[in-house]
């Protein structure tokens, strides 16, 4: 093994630079191997740099990775739209080409990408990313024999066959810190504060941060919620003179009779919908339930209760940025280093996953299995229920 490539794909995650550093130093010091970084993920394979180092590539030496383990983001850049199997066709002005119905046209350029990897003399390609990046790595390996090794990265913790995905613990800490700060202002102003966190269709960030931050309700994508159950939890606290509530809602949470809150539908063929607005929808549901209850009280000749003051905070990309926690740095560094070991042994089509106290080898197929909160078997769900935290379950309507 003389030369390896490293790319980072998908959304940025705290710990990416630590993984790049771990892989680079291991390749250089242990295997005396040259390391090349691909700029902006698989998009680098379609640059104009020729067979040598070009605009889409950079040499990675010890100087380039010095001290980057403490920095957020990725020095290699990342992209969500670099799918070699569905590359957008563009006109002479760089604009996407469309068919008569307005659909963006694409072309499979994966064989070209594989040839670019061979032309650049890469004996292995380390793909650091989440489900999208690892799925592309698997396709490149199975269809074109590209010697790939994956490193699992996602703040959502939605990949199976690994006990940790670096970036998750940092995202949970950021969300927990936000809850700690929101608690004081909610208490001061007698407010209901809703914190919307990331996670897509996996509720791990919401569940962990909600328990750590002392939330009174946690709403998960895996467990469609009853707005009335959440409302009853809030009003029960008010009746006990606890006139504030903290609610954590995952961006993928949805009511029992509704769909996902979608902020944006991107037009690229392989792009995910952008989730967003779950917190605002919950606010509208809570306020609607209050108005219905107040109307009933007035109709019966009584005085309506005070309206709850509900605010929504969307944490957004703050969860992705900034300095990674020590645990995420350790996992990222160790998995990046172990990925090089796997490549040196010719163990391609695998992932450097984390089990117990260190990295281990799993197949790309196993790593791509989804990892979701299981409402009936996940221990922390049982913990939340035992603490009296509302999960928005319909049986709470009867309590």
Burial class, 29, CB count within 10 angstroms (exposed 0-12 / middle 13-18 / buried 19+): exposed
225 closest CA partner among 383, 391, 396, 374: 391
First-to-last alpha carbon distance for the chain, in angstroms, is 64
pLDDT tens for the chain, 399 residues long, are 899 999 999 888 999 999 999 999 999 999 999 999 999 888 888 764 434 444 589 999 999 999 999 998 999 998 776 788 988 888 888 788 888 888 888 889 899 999 999 999 999 999 999 999 999 999 999 999 999 999 999 999 999 999 999 999 999 999 999 999 999 998 888 889 999 999 999 999 999 999 999 999 999 999 999 999 999 998 888 777 778 899 999 999 999 988 998 887 665 555 567 888 999 999 999 999 988 888 888 888 888 877 788 999 999 889 888 899 999 999 999 999 999 999 999 999 999 999 988 999 999 999 999 999 999 999 999 999 999 999 999 877 655
Same fold, 3-166+324-367 and 168-320+375-398: yes
Q: Where are the alpha helices (DSSP H) in the chain?
A: 16-29, 62-65, 110-119, 131-144, 168-189, 204-212, 227-239, 278-299, 326-344, 364-367, 379-386
Residues forming the active site: 156
Domain at 3-166+324-367: CATH code: 3.40.50.450
Spatial contact of 275 and 200, defined as CB atoms under 8 Å apart: yes
Range 168-320+375-398 classified under CATH 3.40.50.460: yes
Please state, in angstroms and rounded to a whole number, the distance separating the CA atoms of residues 329 and 87. Answer: 33
Tokens 């093994």 correspond to what residue? 1
Of 333, 288, 342, 340, give the one whose Cα is nearest residue 310: 288
Entry pTM:
0.91
Q: Where are the domains of the chain?
A: 3-166+324-367, 168-320+375-398
């Amino acid at each position: 093994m003389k030369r390896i490539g490293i790319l980072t794909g998908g959304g940025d995650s705290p710990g990416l630079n630590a993984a790049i550093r771990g892989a680079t130093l291991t390749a250089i010091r242990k295997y005396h191997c040259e390391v090349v970084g691909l700029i902006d993920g698989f998009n680098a394979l379609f640059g104009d740099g020729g067979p040598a180092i070009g605009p889409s590539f950079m040499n990675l030496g010890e100087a380039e990775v010095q001290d980057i383990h403490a920095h957020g983001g990725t020095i290699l850049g990342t992209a969500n739209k670099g799918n070699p199997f569905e590359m957008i066709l563009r006109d002479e002005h760089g604009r996407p080409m469309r068919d008569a119905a307005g659909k963006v046209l694409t072309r499979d350029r994966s064989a070209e990408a594989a040839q670019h990897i061979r032309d650049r003399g890469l004996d292995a390609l380390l793909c650091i990313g989440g489900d999208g990046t690892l799925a592309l790595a698997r396709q490149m390996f199975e269809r074109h024999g590209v010697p790939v090794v994956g490193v699992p990265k996602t703040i959502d913790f939605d990949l199976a066959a690994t006990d940790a995905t670096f970036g998750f613990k940092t995202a949970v800490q950021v969300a927990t810190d936000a809850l700690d700060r929101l608690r004081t202002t909610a208490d001061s102003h007698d407010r209901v504060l809703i914190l919307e966190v990331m996670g897509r269709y996996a509720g791990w960030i919401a569940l962990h941060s909600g328990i750590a931050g002392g939330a009174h309700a946690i709403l998960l994508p895996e467990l469609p919620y009853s707005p009335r159950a959440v409302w009853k939890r809030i009003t029960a606290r008010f009746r006990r003179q606890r006139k504030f509530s903290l609610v954590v809602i995952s961006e993928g949470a949805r009511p029992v009779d509704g769909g996902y809150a979608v902020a944006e539908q991107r037009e690229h063929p392989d792009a995910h919908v952008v989730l967003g607005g779950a917190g605002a929808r919950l606010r509208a549901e809570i306020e609607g339930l209050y108005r219905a209850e107040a109307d009933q009280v007035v109709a019966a000749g009584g005085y309506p209760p005070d309206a709850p003051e509900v605010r929504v905070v969307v944490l957004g990309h703050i969860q992705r940025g900034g300095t990674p926690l020590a645990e995420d740095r350790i996992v990222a560094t160790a998995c990046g280093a172990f990925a090089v070991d796997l490549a040196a042994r010719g163990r391609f089509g695998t992932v450097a996953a984390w089990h117990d106290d260190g990295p281990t080898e799993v197949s790309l197929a196993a790593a791509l299995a989804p990892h979701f909160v299981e409402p009936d078997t996940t221990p922390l769900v049982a913990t939340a229920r035992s603490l009296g935290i509302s999960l928005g379950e319909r049986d709470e309507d009867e309590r």
